[in-house]
Amino acid sequence: MLKNLRYRFAVFMQGRYGTDQLSRFLSIVTLVLLVVENIVNHFLAFPGMLIFVRIAGYVIAVLLFIIYFRTFSRNIPRRYAENQKFLALKDRLSAFFGGARRSAGQRIEYHIYRCPQCSQKIRIPRGKGRIMVRCPKCGTEFVKQS
């Protein structure tokens, strides 16, 4: 019985897009909204919050529609392009926030200066005293304290 049902679902999904990272992200957002909506509805039920509960209910319904629409869609190139745009945005955001964390970790061992000519970031080890720094990009030399 279970094998037959699994086979029928596999046949149904042939030629359809299925799930990807964007669908998973939307699913997580939907679950978080659902939990927050339930908490607000049960513990913070005063008139101003009831508007939030109604709006959250509509947003959850729209997100569920989008998730199922993308999963069962037969327009695979378009869904793939949407996912690629999402991944590019995700990579940009993670590089922005990850870069700040990485440079904060490097500040323990290095001073990070900018070239006065071209604004290139230059990493200089700490504890070397006054040193002459040469920009690897434009060749400008300047003196800094490490």
For residue 72, the enclosing domain spans: 18-145
| Higher-scoring residue by pLDDT: 47, 140 | 140
Q: How far apart are CA 23 and CA 66, in angstroms?
A: 8
Residue 2 lies in a domain: no
Question: What pLDDT score was predicted for residue 109?
Answer: 85
Residue 84 lies in a domain: yes
Residue 137 lies in a domain: yes
The number of distinct structural domains making up the chain is 1
- The pLDDT tens digits for 56-104 are 899 999 999 999 999 999 999 999 999 999 999 999 988 888 766 666 7
Model-level pTM? Answer: 0.64
Mean pLDDT score of the chain: 88
Residue 52 lies in a domain: yes
Residue 10 lies in a domain: no
The tokens describing 89, both together, are: 């945005």
Residue 139 lies in a domain: yes
